[in-house]
Amino acid sequence: MKKPFAITLALATLATLSGIALARQNAAPAEPIQPIAPAKVTQPALVELGKKLYFDPRLSRSGAISCNSCHNLATGGTDNLRSSIGDRWQQGPINSPTVLNARFNVAQFWDGRAPDLKAQAGGPIANPGEMASTHELAIGVLRAIPGYAPEFKAAFGDAAIDIDRVTTAIAAFEDTLVTPDSRFDLWLKGDRKALNADELAGYALFKDTGCVSCHNGPAVGGTSFQKLGVAEPFRTDNPAIGRAGVTGKESDRNVFKVPTLRNVELTYPYFHDGSVNSLEEAVRVMGRVQLGRQIGDDDARKIAAFLRTLTGRQPSIVLPALPPSVASTPAPQPF
């Protein structure tokens, strides 16, 4: 199952992740999953601005949808819906991935069409089915909110506001959204009592069954693109074609970024189509579809028990007080 390649890739990816001090000295040397380090905030003004923008619904045409609407930091960085609700209650085409630990992803979106968080951040703002604004309109709104000028000045040295700065700031905030100190991380760091027998058995199964060949690295995923439906087709009514939409290659049809399994207890429903609510069922489906293995109920239960130990310490987010609009700020258009 490409295990050596995937691990090599994961380690190569790891090596390129700057600013992350993995406590590797304490990790069991052979483990294919590494602990997550707490965020290091080196540019607090930039991160604070990014947080405000992340929570600001005025980046949407309606004035009602913010980044946090679909990537809700109260609910694991997702909205826990099969697919999200966009402007005018449009049904989104695909399940919203979690923003937590998204910094570890090899690329952003299920199809990897954005190389990084900054490139991702501009997408939903201007997507007619999501926030349904335009970059021009959104920037016009922000420029007409007097309280943002000093924030941009503090973050960038002057008060100019453009989409490059907005997405830079949002990405800088998102870069801090990591979830260290999961029970599994404590175990990796040497606390042998952090996991119980079922959870340890689940981890052994996770490795032995082959799950770890794709779900590895600090985020337990996010390091590679893989075809969904290797052993048998993944049945769905979701029309997403995956990476083929980016590369134009027929061989990339149904190839998706491997999602992180960090906080997977919180990021239901599962898969790009959000079709499965049960973590145990998701494990069984993956075994069958990706690995050609029928995972029994007890094994699925143990693997799911292990996966629930990947729930980390959620970022402590003090809700920002957003600078108010004034009479000359373009009004939202909700109806």
Binding site residues, its own copies, CB under 8 A: 55-57, 62-64, 69, 72-76, 79-82, 85, 88-89, 91, 265-266, 268-269, 277-281, 314, 316-322, 324-325, 327, 331-332, 334-335
Nearest distance in Å: CB 37, its own copies: 20
Question: Using CA atoms, how far apart are residues 34 and 334, in angstroms rounded to an integer?
Answer: 45
Helix (H) / strand (E) element for 257: namely strand 255-257
Tell me whether residue 72 or residue 176 sits nearer to its own copies (CB atom): 72
Question: Using CA atoms, how far apart are residues 321 and 200, in angstroms rounded to an integer?
Answer: 43
Tell me whether residue 28 or residue 319 sits nearer to its own copies (CB atom): 319
Tell me whether residue 239 or residue 324 sits nearer to its own copies (CB atom): 324
Look up 130 and say whether it is catalytic: yes
Question: Using CA atoms, how far apart are residues 297 and 280, in angstroms rounded to an integer?
Answer: 8
Phi, psi of 149 (to 5 degrees): -55, -50
Nearest distance in Å: CB 231, its own copies: 24
Tell me whether residue 10 or residue 261 sits nearer to its own copies (CB atom): 261
| DSSP per-residue string spanning 70-83 | HSBTTTTTB--SSS
Q: Say whether 269 sits in a helix, a strand or coil.
A: coil
Nearest distance in Å: CB 166, its own copies: 17
Count Cβ neighbours within 10 Å for each residue of 23-43 and write b for 16 or more, e otherwise: eeeebeeebbbbbbbebeeeb
- Catalytic one among 48, 130, 174, 280? 130
Nearest distance in Å: CB 328, its own copies: 9
Quick one: which of 324, 327, 277 has its CA closest to 145?
324
Residues designated as active site: 130
